[in-house]
Amino acid sequence: MDSARLLLLIAVASLGGAAAADDHLVFSNYTCSAPGNYTSNSPYARNLARLLAPLSRPAAVDNWLFHQITVYGTTTPDDQASGLAMCFADSAPDRCRTCLATVSSAHALFPACDHSRNVSFISSDGCVIRYAAGGVTPFFVSSAADDASGARLVLRSRTQAADAAAMRDARRVLLSRLAESAAGDDDRRFAAGNQGYMDAAGRGTWQVIYGMAQCTRDLPPAECSGCLLDHLGVMYRDASVTNSTEASVMGLTCYLTYQMNKPIHIAGVALPPAAQPSETPTGSAPPPPVVKTTVLIAALAAAAVTLFSVGV
Ligand SMILES: *[C@@H]1O[C@H](CO)[C@@H](O)[C@H](O)[C@H]1NC(C)=O
Ligand SMILES: *[C@@H]1O[C@H](CO)[C@@H](O)[C@H](O)[C@H]1NC(C)=O
Ligand SMILES: *[C@@H]1O[C@H](CO)[C@@H](O)[C@H](O)[C@H]1NC(C)=O
Ligand SMILES: *[C@@H]1O[C@H](CO)[C@@H](O)[C@H](O)[C@H]1NC(C)=O
């Protein structure tokens, strides 16, 4: 997540969500199968402990972390434990580390998941981590449908784009393009880019939307793009997001985000040049707008009270 955004959230930490150790707000969501579905001394409990040690507390964490592990043990397939962990590409590694560790105490944090065989957890600190019984291979390939019914987080700014219609058009072009390229990226199932548009309803200023798309790496291309396009659909269906200047839709199998006039910093990826107007109006060329930080912070802070949905 963007550090400026998280900083802003400190001010409203008392209003919802869970405050982390360093006082930024963390939003999370989870899904789990029936609780009380195994006992503490069972073969599944042993396999799960062996799975969670490396999955939730990996030796090294960076923003490209992706692990898939199955513990077969000496048990029947039903008692095998499989899991997956991923950091979002724009996450800060220390926050992702905290996020991954959360699942080790899932039973304490979410009583509804106490001794559930299957647990999936997602957090705005920038990770998704899940485990399930049964050595399923490949285990979580279950696509957009699964993502829609599973845990999801929708975060957005309440600030509206001045020319909402033009913003929505440009956002659709950008994010559907990224949904296709993330699916075609074999190594990381990731894509980032930007798209400009002329803001006619405003003062005729050039605006740039920066976007990022990412799927868990076990997803086949078609399921990856399907999941991302489904998240894009959320941005158009959800009235609170549809005209927002920034929003994120995070799911268990994919993550789609955009923000206006503010590049998304992703460690290991050089910032692409911002899109420029293709036709420069006669007279003075409009420079890309620089949003004054103070204005942006004020707008976001004012909006943050209700503008970040969800939180457990
Ligand atoms: C857990 O997930 C696995 C793999 O998706 C599935 O086969 C199994 O039925 C689930 N178990 C429960 C108790 O929901
Ligand atoms: C776990 O749930 C499955 C079905 O969801 C059931 O068949 C099984 O008996 C349950 N196991 C325990 C230990 O409760
Ligand atoms: C968790 O995800 C589900 C499924 O998308 C959604 O219906 C629910 O509102 C989410 N809960 C929170 C607290 O975000
Ligand atoms: C979004 O902007 C359009 C104008 O393009 C407006 O008609 C619509 O009411 C706005 N939607 C919301 C939820 O604010």
Residue 135 domain flag: yes
Helix/strand/coil for 53: helix
Whether residue 20 is found in the same domain as residue 115: yes
- What is the CATH classification number for the domain harbouring 124? 3.30.430.20
Whether residue 134 is found in the same domain as residue 11: yes
Whether residue 95 is found in the same domain as residue 186: no
Residue 301 domain flag: no
> Which pLDDT value is given to residue 299?
32
> Which pLDDT value is given to residue 281?
40
> Which pLDDT value is given to residue 92?
95
Q: How many residues does the chain have?
A: 312
Whether residue 118 is found in the same domain as residue 183: no
pTM of the model: 0.83
Distance 118 CA to ligand 1 centre (A): 6
Residue nearest to atom 8 of ligand 2 (CA): 37
- Domain span at 60: 6-139
Residue 311 domain flag: no
> Which pLDDT value is given to residue 143?
52
| Residues paired with 51 in a beta bridge | none
Whether residue 189 is found in the same domain as residue 266: yes
Ligand sitting nearest the alpha carbon of 78: 1
Q: What is the tally of structural domains in the chain?
A: 2
Residue 148 domain flag: no
Cβ distance 127 to 99 under 8 Å?
Answer: yes
Whether residue 110 is found in the same domain as residue 214: no
Strands, DSSP E only, in 63-104? 66-71, 81-87
Residue 302 domain flag: no
For ligand 4, say whether the CB of 234 is within 6 Å of any of its atoms.
no
> Which pLDDT value is given to residue 292?
35
Pocket test for ligand 4, best of 157, 242, 307 (most atoms within 8 A of CB): 242
Report the alpha-carbon distance of residue 66 to residue 177 in Å, rounded. Answer: 24
Digitized pLDDT (tens) for each residue of the chain, 312 residues in all = 443 343 333 323 323 355 555 678 899 999 988 999 999 999 999 999 999 999 999 999 999 999 999 998 887 888 999 999 999 999 999 999 999 998 887 767 788 899 999 899 999 999 999 999 986 654 565 554 556 668 899 999 999 999 999 999 999 999 999 999 999 998 899 999 999 999 987 678 999 999 999 999 988 999 999 999 999 999 999 999 999 999 999 999 999 999 999 999 999 988 878 888 875 443 344 444 443 333 333 333 333 333 333 332
> Which pLDDT value is given to residue 237?
95
What is the C-alpha radius of gyration for the chain, rounded to an integer number of angstroms?
20
Residue 199 domain flag: yes
Distance 29 CA to ligand 3 centre (A): 6
> Which pLDDT value is given to residue 278?
73
